[in-house]
Amino acid sequence: MICFSIFFVNHQENNKYIIETLELNGSAEEGDALFKINCVGCHGITARGLVGPDLHSITQRLNDKEIIKQVTRGLTPPMPSFEIDPVNMSNLLKYLHSLE
């Protein structure tokens, strides 16, 4: 029962974060700046991939919830997890959508 309670609380907190992020209308310019600070080492300055994959058209392969989970949890190694507030996550999503 304790394990279920912990899972349920974590799941609720995660859903709240995702909902809050998706309700925002991010800035692609701010997302680009964030990307250049945190992501270019693996994804390259043009987001065409180095160690990490090419992110052009990523929004056609993954939906926004999946992208949020990938960024915040680092689901596929060697992708690290990032603690990113909803505003900046929204900005990063807007930037990734601009790469289509």
The residues, any chain, with a CB within 8 Å of residue 44's CB and separated by 6 or more, are 50
Q: Model's pTM, two decimal places?
A: 0.85
Range of the domain at 20: 2-98
| pLDDT for position 12 | 54
Here the CATH number for the domain that contains residue 45 is: 1.10.760.10
| pLDDT for position 71 | 97
How many distinct structural domains can be found in the chain?
A: 1
The pLDDT tens digits along the chain (100 residues) read 444 444 444 455 578 999 999 999 999 999 999 999 999 999 999 999 999 999 999 999 999 999 999 999 999 989 999 999 999 999 999 999 999 8
20 vs 17, 33, 61, 67, 74, CA distance in Å? Answer: 5, 21, 22, 15, 20
| pLDDT for position 100 | 80
